[in-house]
Amino acid sequence: MLFNSFAFLLVFFPASLTLHWLVERFQPQWRLPLLLILSLLFYGYWDWRFAPVLAASILVNWLVAQTFLHTRQGVLITLALIANLTVLGIFKYFNFFAGFAEAILGVTAPKWDIGLPLGISFFTFHHVMYLIDLKAGRAPRFSLVRYALYIAFFPQVLAGPLVRWSEIMHQFDERPYQRPDAAERFGRGLILLTFGLVKKVFVSDPLAEYVNPIFAQAGAGAAIPTLDAWQATLGFTFQIYFDFSGYTDMALGMALMLGIVLPQNFNKPYSATSLQDFWRRWHMTLSRFLRDYLYIPLGGSRKGLGVQIGALFATMTLGGLWHGAGITFIAWGVAHGLGLTAGVLWRRAGLRMPAAAGWVLTILFVMFSWVLFRAPSFDAALRIYEGLIGLTSIGETFKWRAIALAAAIACLGPTAWTAMQFVPPRRWIAVGLAVVLMAVLLQIGDAANYEFIYFQF
């Protein structure tokens, strides 16, 4: 069920909150098992066939961890990491590599028409983080219930944020509704949930109407007029931000209402003045995962310029592949690898750039690279690029109002997390929040509900 659906907002989540409060109040020892059951029910609602995949993934990795702690055989962790990535590869990349083999090598390869379990990239990376830290001696032993909840916690299982075990495990020991600030935390969680719903329902989904038809035309081979190309590119730039940051706000808000603080994932990325700064602000938990578990182990910046550039390029290329089984996603990752490499060379040369110029170059680079991320093929991306640089007709209309509003909020306004912290506890604000929430529900009932973009990854 979607977070922006009646089934979730009016049935599953209120029922979950009620059960969680009752258990936490009268049988606190059952709090974690309840949250785990709710999480598995939530995941199984999407497609019950994939619930055993998640459950088996949790059980096998936990058993490997227990065995390692008894034997201290590091090869167990190595094999587990290989197995996790192999399962991810089979579900997500088998057909991609089969098609690649046919196109490049001329080899006829079988293809499997298997569905992609939602969130498999995210829960696989959670396993990877824990197992690597366990082998390094940084992570302790956890019970099966606690480990399972770390992997499957329903606010973040489908699209993150990527949470380190050290950020969440200690919170499982708390009595969240016994805290002196319990009511305030619950209220601020509700504010975050509402902000996220507003981002999704009133900003991201309307922008999809500006974007999807134009990319569909490009995919069908039509020439894209300049105004349409800019409308689609700008529209998607802000659609994906409000879609993904809206999901994150909802996840953080719901977790807070359940007594769990999750890490932030966005910090005004379109205000960045360099590409390095952008990746410190965009999908922050993925950025630090790639840094700590891929870039640094590959050598990082500690072993000379050549190694640093190679590690950076490999990290971003694999980051692009992680986002999707397609050449366009790899090209998007390669583009960001080249852009970050250019930034390294610029800084190594001791050159400086005014902040305003850095912002313009960064936002243009990010916007142009989003075309590769969104386009269904290279041909479609090329048609969008032709329109962007004026090689086609000028076009007739440019729907700018929603884009301008989204740009102003994204670039000039505070993050939802920051705004939530400064909202004072006033009755009129609570009434206004209720009105906004009702408006969201009315909009959900009156319009098509789009899935979150990052659910496909």
Sequence-distant (≥ 6) Cβ neighbours of residue 404 within 8 angstroms = none
C-beta neighbour count of 197 within 10 angstroms: 24
The Cα 116–Cα 182 span in angstroms is 38
How far from 155 is each of 1, 160, 161, 404, 443, CA to CA, in Å? Answer: 12, 8, 9, 30, 22
Write the DSSP symbol of residue 8.
I
Degrees, nearest 5: CA angle 108-111-115: 165
Degrees, nearest 5: CA angle 391-339-364: 45
Which residue shows structure tokens 């902040």? 355
In the Cβ-directed half-sphere of 449, how many Cα atoms lie within 13 Å? 17
Widest CA span in the chain: 70
Q: Is 352 left (phi over 0), alpha (psi -120 to 50) or beta?
A: beta
The Cα 164–Cα 131 span in angstroms is 11
Residue 248 near residue 265 (C-beta atoms within 8 A): yes
Q: Is the peptide bond before 161 cis (omega within 30 degrees of 0)?
A: yes
The Cα 186–Cα 263 span in angstroms is 17
Sequence-distant (≥ 6) Cβ neighbours of residue 444 within 8 angstroms = 4, 5, 6, 9, 201
In the Cβ-directed half-sphere of 241, how many Cα atoms lie within 13 Å? 28
* Of 20, 126, 323, 336, catalytic: 323
C-beta neighbour count of 1 within 10 angstroms: 14
Catalytic status, residue 336: no
Q: What is the DSSP string of 45-96?
A: HH-GGGHHHHHHHHHHHHHHHHHHHHH--HHHHHHHHHHHHHHHHHHHHHHH
The Cα 245–Cα 251 span in angstroms is 10
The Cα 236–Cα 243 span in angstroms is 10
Known catalytic residues are 323
